[in-house]
Structure formats: structure tokens, C-alpha cells
């Protein structure tokens, strides 16, 4: 059963990204509280040409808790750890971390989920991650420590591995 807020957020996100060729927001099945988000990699990033699939599930108490977001596509990324199984968080993003609801990181200024945030905010943040845009692409605060370390200390080596994984796992 979807609520009005879920429907509103879905429509707002679809509208916000309708002219954005790298973002597709669509129902995962028959319901608007379970979505498939596809983000396409752009040139000048190691994810160029890849299609990255994210699953977004609205909790029963949405918008008071953030959606559960899971990256299904295997990728070499400092803030996404593809080795973490479904059901767990595999994306390092304050916005969707249930432990950070209503909190602000004093160092970075990043804030956790609040009921005023929307699905479009999450899509924008994930797009920034995949398009290697700061502050969303953040190797200094990694979930995949090896990729984060590599992105900071040997970016060419990181980019090579990320491109290889993109070719292997994210291109039809």
C-alpha cells in the first residue's frame, strides 16, 4: 500500500530527471514504493558507458525513515561496496543511513535523512556518486576501503580497475 507522499516523491523525481539522459526512475514491479533507479556512467569518469542499477524501497513509516537503497550492479567505487549482501546497506551516504536520521556531520556538514528530504535528493546524490562529483564521490570516507585508498593515492590504478569492472558488470 503506497501513501500519498511516496506517490508525490516518485512523480517529483520522474519529473526532475525526465530530461536527464543518465537517470531512469521507474517502478521495480507494480508499486511506487519499490523502485528501480538506473544511473548511466558519463564520459571522463571510470564508469563511462555503464548502467548501474539501484533498488529503492520505501519503509512503512516513510518519510520519517529513509528509503532502503541497494546497489545491485557490481562496481569498484569508494562509497559503494558490492561485496555486501542484499538486506544490508552497501552504499555510504549519510542521506540514507537510518542511524543518521536528523543528524548533521559537524566535519562535513552532510546531513542525514529528515522528512523534508525526497526521493529526488537521493537520486541526485547517487548520480553525483556515479558521475564522480564531490561531495558525493568521497574517497576520504569510504565504505570500500581498498577502492577509497586507491582513489586517493593512485587514482590512475583506481580508474583502471573501475573501468574494468564497468566493462565486465555494467555494460549490456
pLDDT attached to residue 3: 85
The mean per-residue pLDDT over the stretch 17-32 comes to 95
> Annotated active-site positions, please?
92
Residue 58 has pLDDT above 80, yes or no: yes
* CATH 3.10.110.10 is right for the domain spanning 4-169: yes
pLDDT tens by residue, 95-149? 999 999 999 877 777 789 999 999 999 999 999 999 999 999 999 999 999 999 9
Rg (CA), the chain: 16
| Model confidence, pTM | 0.94
Of 94, 91, 132, 133, the C-alpha closest to 111 is 94
Q: What are the residue boundaries of the structural domains of the chain, listed by start?
A: 4-169
The mean per-residue pLDDT over the stretch 161-170 comes to 98
pLDDT attached to residue 2: 64
Residue 156 has pLDDT above 80, yes or no: yes
Amino acid at each position: 500500500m503506497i501513501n500519498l507522499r511516496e506517490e508525490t516523491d516518485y512523480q517529483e523525481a520522474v519529473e526532475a530527471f525526465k530530461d536527464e539522459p543518465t537517470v531512469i526512475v521507474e517502478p521495480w514491479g507494480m508499486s511506487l514504493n519499490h523502485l528501480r533507479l538506473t544511473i548511466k556512467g558519463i564520459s571522463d569518469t571510470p564508469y563511462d558507458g555503464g548502467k548501474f542499477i539501484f533498488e529503492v524501497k520505501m519503509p512503512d513509516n516513510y518519510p520519517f525513515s529513509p528509503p532502503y537503497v541497494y546497489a545491485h550492479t557490481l562496481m569498484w567505487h569508494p562509497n559503494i561496496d558490492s561485496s555486501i549482501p542484499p538486506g544490508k546497506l552497501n552504499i555510504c551516504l549519510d542521506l540514507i543511513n537510518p542511524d543518521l536520521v536528523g543528524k548533521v556531520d559537524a566535519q562535513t556538514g552532510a546531513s542525514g535523512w529528515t522528512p523534508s528530504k525526497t526521493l529526488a535528493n537521493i537520486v541526485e546524490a547517487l548520480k553525483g556518486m556515479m558521475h564522480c562529483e564531490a561531495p558525493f564521490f568521497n574517497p576520504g570516507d569510504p565504505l570500500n576501503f581498498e577502492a577509497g585508498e586507491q582513489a586517493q593515492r593512485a587514482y590512475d590504478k583506481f580508474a583502471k580497475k573501475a573501468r574494468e569492472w564497468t566493462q565486465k558488470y555494467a555494460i549490456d
